[in-house]
């Protein structure tokens, strides 16, 4: 078994030098090293005696390669996106601390030198000439690997994990289906298992949730933060001046300015950017550690609508701020918004940070209509009066991230389609849904274990993601194959005049008005996302650990 590794200097060496983005990542790893080590020790105690395999892992950060244009590195010190670098730094730290053997590449040349891949035999063989058990990369890296590996790419693609910030829904991933049905994207069509895509927040249960971490506080720091909070201090979320070019800003900022001193961390070269009003105290872009210090003093962290779904709101909440953000009505998505256009998802983004809105909520997060001055002003007044403790969801702590990645690496090896075919499910006593019954024979070996499965039927126009959530559960696409059977309709007392197998990401489902039942013909299209007024969908749901939605209760 690998030992949880402590030699952080070795990791920093592996990452290499020569880019501002790499320096940012190394600084972050160095700064969080003690936190990672403490988390590793706690996890070790928790996993005592459990099997842990050591994997050979290649981490190829495609978006940082010159060959893909590397637009990020030159903007690191100029207010450009850092979220991706935050996440990659944390992925590297987590994989290393878990004791796996790592190689890191940020150029095509290095990638090529590591991929000696003469064609072998069989489908995704576990022992073969490819010297890596797992490859973590992104969409740019995937493209580069495909070009370099030629035919063997197809054979080994099951070992790839794609870090994909906003997620890829199954309908966009399946090449033939996406092409036929017009799920057009700049990225999709890779025919991977949807769980191979790993997101920054738990956006859709179809993908795996990779996440990142936020800095954690000890008891003394928590007390200090509470004692030193300035209830009239607000920090604006937006390190690049363009973020401040938002409609209606004058109105809501002048309301905020009546009550609070407003601070910003906007990058500038020589003078204040014209987009930033004179009454804002601008500190310029701060190093990450100093930004956290500013958040420790502030009461409020306020978003202007962009960037979407970044790390900063979690950091603010972890440092005891309230996060105030705009509700999007209608929600933003790839169908109506430039930023999301071409991204392989139809997910509707209901605010700047839906995770903060849905998974955290009040008193830490306020989502309001910025065009409604009364609602906005009332929120500010209440926030100033309310005492709020620092809060960090477990899944964004170092221990939470280590636990999740450990579980994925240990268990997520077989694709759902490869898991053994189950016998029928038994009805639960209350007959509103189905559960796995121990009397139905030996449970098939699956991960998550099938004992956590509950089958619920959605209302029309509801996704399985929503349906499971309504029942306090989470959609688990691995289990779709268990309910994609004619007898399941019968067990749910659904009358089917006809039953067809078709390719459709909403199936299995029933068109109730006409008593037509549909089963899924293409396992790659099993999808928690997606809804239609015509169908009630059969949804596989499971329980989850508090604060760790990626894992079921018995999933460790």
Select from 319, 263, 302, 317 the least CA-distant residue to 380. Answer: 302
**Binding of residue 265 to ligand U2F (CB under 6 A):** yes
Please state the closest distance from residue 313 (CB atom) to ligand U2F, in A.
7
What is the spatial distance between Cα 227 and Cα 128, in angstroms, rounded to a whole number?
59
The stretch near ligand U2F (CB under 6 A) out of 64-72, 305-313, 479-487, 543-551 is 305-313
Q: Tokens 């090896």 sit at which residue? A: 413
What is the spatial distance between Cα 535 and Cα 525, in angstroms, rounded to a whole number?
16
Please state the closest distance from residue 203 (CB atom) to ligand U2F, in A.
12
**Binding of residue 444 to ligand U2F (CB under 6 A):** no
* Residue 271: exposure state from Cβ atoms within 10 A (0-12, 13-18, ≥19): exposed
Q: What is the 3-state secondary structure (H, E, C) of 439-458?
A: HHCCCCCCCCCHHHEEEEEC
Under rule CB under 6 A, how many of the chain's residues touch ligand U2F? 19
Strand, coil or helix: 528: coil
Please state the closest distance from residue 284 (CB atom) to ligand U2F, in A.
8
User: x/- contact string, 176-205, with ligand U2F (CB under 6 A)?
Assistant: ------------------------x-----
What count of other Cβ atoms lies within 10 Å of the Cβ of residue 418?
Answer: 13
Buried b (16+ CB within 10 A) or exposed e, 236-252: bbbbbbebbebeebeeb
**Binding of residue 215 to ligand U2F (CB under 6 A):** no
Please state the closest distance from residue 65 (CB atom) to ligand U2F, in A.
17
Q: Tokens 């309301």 sit at which residue? A: 255
Residue number closest to ligand U2F, CB atom: 83
Please state the closest distance from residue 291 (CB atom) to ligand U2F, in A.
4
Please state the closest distance from residue 474 (CB atom) to ligand U2F, in A.
23
Q: Which helix (H) or strand (E) holds 134?
A: strand 134-137
Closer to ligand U2F by CB, 311 or 393: give it: 311
Closer to ligand U2F by CB, 86 or 519: give it: 86
**Binding of residue 396 to ligand U2F (CB under 6 A):** no
Please state the closest distance from residue 359 (CB atom) to ligand U2F, in A.
16
Please state the closest distance from residue 215 (CB atom) to ligand U2F, in A.
9
Q: Which residue among 170, 303, 311, 422 contacts ligand U2F (CB under 6 A)?
A: 311
Contact in structure between 141 and 62 (CB atoms under 8 Å): yes
Please state the closest distance from residue 306 (CB atom) to ligand U2F, in A.
7
Strand, coil or helix: 359: helix
* Residue 73: exposure state from Cβ atoms within 10 A (0-12, 13-18, ≥19): buried
Contact in structure between 340 and 357 (CB atoms under 8 Å): no
User: x/- contact string, 234-263, with ligand U2F (CB under 6 A)?
Assistant: -----x------------------------
The stretch near ligand U2F (CB under 6 A) out of 58-66, 285-293, 330-338, 453-461 is 285-293
Closer to ligand U2F by CB, 139 or 479: give it: 139
In the numeric block, which tokens belong to residue 380?
């500010």
Strand, coil or helix: 365: strand
**Binding of residue 286 to ligand U2F (CB under 6 A):** yes
Q: Tokens 């139905």 sit at which residue? A: 440
Closer to ligand U2F by CB, 295 or 555: give it: 295
Q: Which of residues 70-99 bind ligand U2F (CB under 6 A)?
A: 81-84, 86
Please state the closest distance from residue 288 (CB atom) to ligand U2F, in A.
4
Contact in structure between 229 and 255 (CB atoms under 8 Å): no
Q: Which residue among 194, 307, 393, 416 contacts ligand U2F (CB under 6 A)?
A: 307
Q: Tokens 């899924």 sit at which residue? A: 520
What is the spatial distance between Cα 501 and Cα 42, in angstroms, rounded to a whole number?
48
**Binding of residue 308 to ligand U2F (CB under 6 A):** yes
**Binding of residue 285 to ligand U2F (CB under 6 A):** yes
**Phi then psi for 426, rounded to 5 degrees?**
-100, 145
Q: Applying CB under 6 A, which residues contact ligand U2F?
A: 81-84, 86, 165, 200, 239, 265, 285-286, 288, 291, 307-308, 310-312, 315
């Amino acid at each position: 078994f690998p030992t949880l590794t402590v030699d952080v200097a070795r990791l920093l060496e592996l990452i290499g030098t020569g880019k501002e983005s790499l320096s940012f990542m190394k600084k972050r790893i160095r700064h969080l090293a003690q936190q990672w080590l403490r988390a590793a020790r706690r996890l070790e105690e928790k996993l005592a005696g459990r099997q842990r395999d050591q994997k050979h892992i290649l981490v190829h950060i495609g978006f940082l390669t010159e060959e893909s244009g590397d637009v990020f590195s030159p903007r690191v010190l100029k207010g450009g996106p850092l979220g991706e670098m935050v996440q990659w730094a944390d992925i590297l730290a987590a994989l290393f601390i878990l004791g796996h053997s790592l190689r890191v590449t940020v150029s095509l040349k290095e990638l090529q030198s590591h991929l000696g891949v003469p064609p072998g035999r069989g489908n995704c063989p576990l022992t073969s000439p490819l010297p890596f058990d797992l490859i973590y990369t992104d969409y740019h890296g995937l493209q580069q690997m495909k070009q370099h590996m030629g035919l063997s790419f197809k054979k080994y693609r099951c070992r790839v994990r794609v870090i994909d910030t906003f997620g890829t829904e199954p309908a966009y991933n399946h090449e033939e289906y996406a092409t036929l049905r017009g799920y057009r994207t700049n990225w999709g069509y890779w025919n991977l298992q949807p769980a191979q895509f790993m997101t920054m927040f738990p956006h859709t249960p179809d993908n795996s949730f990779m996440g990142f971490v936020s800095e954690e506080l000890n008891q003394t720091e928590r007390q200090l933060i509470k004692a030193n909070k300035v209830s009239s201090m607000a920090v604006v979320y937006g390190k690049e001046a363009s973020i401040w070019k938002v409609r209606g800003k004058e109105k809501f900022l002048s309301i905020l300015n009546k009550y609070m001193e407003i601070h910003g961390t906007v990058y500038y070269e020589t003078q204040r950017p014209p987009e930033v009003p004179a009454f804002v105290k601008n500190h310029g872009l701060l190093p990450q550690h100093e930004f956290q210090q500013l958040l420790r003093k502030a009461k409020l962290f306020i978003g202007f609508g962009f960037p979407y779904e970044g790390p900063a709101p979690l950091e603010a909440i972890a440092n005891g701020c309230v996060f105030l953000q705009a509700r999007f009505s209608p929600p933003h998505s790839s169908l109506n918004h430039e930023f999301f256009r071409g991204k392989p998802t139809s997910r509707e983004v209901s605010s700047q940070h839906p995770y903060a809105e849905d998974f955290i909520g009040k008193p830490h997060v306020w989502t309001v209509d910025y065009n409604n001055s009364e609602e906005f002003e009332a929120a500010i007044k209440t926030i100033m009066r309310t005492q709020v403790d620092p809060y960090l969801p477990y899944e964004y702590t170092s221990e939470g991230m280590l636990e999740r990645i450990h579980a994925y690496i240990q268990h997520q090896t077989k694709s759902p389609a490869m898991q053994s075919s189950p016998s029928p499910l038994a009805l639960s006593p209350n007959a509103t849904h189905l559960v796995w019954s121990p009397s139905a024979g030996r449970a098939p070996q699956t991960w998550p274990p099938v004992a956590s499965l509950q089958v619920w039927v959605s209302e029309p126009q509801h996704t399985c993601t929503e349906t499971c959530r309504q029942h306090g559960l989470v959609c688990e696409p691995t289990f779709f194959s268990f309910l994609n059977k004619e007898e399941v309709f019968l067990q749910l007392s659904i009358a089917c005049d006809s039953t067809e197998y078709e390719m459709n990401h909403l199936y299995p489902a029933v068109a109730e008005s006409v008593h037509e039942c549909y089963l899924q013909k293409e396992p790659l299209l099993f999808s928690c996302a997606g809804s239609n007024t015509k169908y009630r969908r059969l949804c596989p749901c499971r329980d989850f650990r508090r604060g760790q939605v990626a894992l079921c209760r018995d999933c460790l």
